[in-house]
Amino acid sequence: MDSFRHLYLHIPFCRHKCGYCDFNAYAGMDRLMPDYVDALERELAYARERFQFQQLETVYLGGGTPSLLPAELASRLLSFIRTNFNLAPDVEVTLEANPASTDETRIAAWMEGGVNRLSLGVQGFDQRALAVLERRTDAAQATHAFRLARSMGLANVSIDLIYAVPYQTLDTWLETLRRAIALDPDHISTYCLSFEEGTLLHRRRAAGKVPEVETDLQWDQLDAATSILEAAGYRRYEVSNWSRPGFESRHNHAYWRCRPVYGAGAGAHSYARDGSTAWRWWNVARPREYIAASPSPRADGEELDARKANAESLMLGLRTAEGAAIPAGFDDEIASLQKAGLVERLNGRVVPTRRGMDLHNQIALAVL
């Protein structure tokens, strides 16, 4: 099995469960945090014995809300990683933060622990859209958190935004983009809101309590994002991600390039490869069960044969501007995508066109 060079840690705690969220995230479980960090350390120590890890190129603390961890627990976890893994000198260490839990003490602990990239879950600056999403943060908190991180020396800060939110007009979305750009982040992610089954927002829409979002408006919002962000110097390097040159997320690139990633924590997924075969496995999802199961919290997994592994590599590579190497056995699929104007061949690779990036779901359907 190829060695791991990328590490993901899942921190499943949240102050409140947002209405649109279907991530493995839980409110009201903060008292489990110390035991959870113990369990993460046990899992990581065990993984070190069972798998080959080379110098880590990226570490990503995602959630949930990693910024909710008290500063001393975050410091302990980051120090454990530094002590037990060999980190590349230019390792990218990202932490996802909610503006409401981004304060001076925590930022100092993160930076001291090696965090050099902050992904700030802003989601929007427009109160009405934030209310639909049931976000409990506002524009003032987001702006304050961003400026604080910058003033303390964080040189790589990303902002997440959501569009296609009920009641969000083209104008309010444009204003959100302008306010984001005015902060001068290095990276901006824009996600199209999806109504996932099992979420409160899905139930509210089914009950007619929130309106549908017109498809034309969604397209106009995506189009506006592409124009305004590119004009401001951000390059769209993935379906939902824009960055200044050199600030692309290296960790997320590892997923899109199908590199082995070890995922630790509740519900975390790992991906490994050996030649043409790949494996994916995932941990038990609920924090309490995860704590009890650590150091071997694996719930289930699957082996991907060469055809399936190659199809996934192609589909994920085609999310990105760099595209993918052309695997054997996909000539018909690529020819029909080319005919539909969704991809093109370039220097021995296949890359998505602008239309292909906008309609990536059609690429996925054709390839998988």
Residues that bind ligand SF4 (CB under 6 A): 14, 17-18, 21, 23, 25, 63-65, 98, 121
Smallest separation, CB 338 to ligand SF4 (Å) = 37
Q: Which is nearer to ligand SF4, 14 or 324 (CB)?
A: 14
DSSP 320: B
Smallest separation, CB 29 to ligand SF4 (Å) = 12
Q: Which is nearer to ligand SF4, 142 or 351 (CB)?
A: 142
Q: Which is nearer to ligand SF4, 16 or 128 (CB)?
A: 16
Smallest separation, CB 22 to ligand SF4 (Å) = 8
Q: Which helix (H) or strand (E) holds 208?
A: none
For every residue of 256-284, DSSP letters joined together read: HTT--EEEESTT-EEEEEETTEEEEEEE-
Distance CA 72, CA 293 (A): 24
Q: Between β-strands 4-11 and 269-274, what pairing exists: parallel, antiparallel or unpaired?
A: unpaired
Strand partners of residue 97: 120
Smallest separation, CB 62 to ligand SF4 (Å) = 9
Q: Which is nearer to ligand SF4, 287 or 356 (CB)?
A: 287
Residue with smallest beta-carbon separation from ligand SF4: 21
Q: What is the 3-state secondary structure (H, E, C) of 325-361?
A: ECCCCCHHHHHHHHHCCCEEEECCEEEECHHHHHCHH
Smallest separation, CB 23 to ligand SF4 (Å) = 4
In the block, tokens 């309490």 appear at 288
Q: Which is nearer to ligand SF4, 18 or 193 (CB)?
A: 18
At residue 120, φ and ψ (nearest 5 deg) are: -95, 120
Q: Helix, strand, coil: what percent of the chain each, to 5?
A: 40, 25, 30
Q: Which is nearer to ligand SF4, 42 or 144 (CB)?
A: 144
Smallest separation, CB 137 to ligand SF4 (Å) = 9
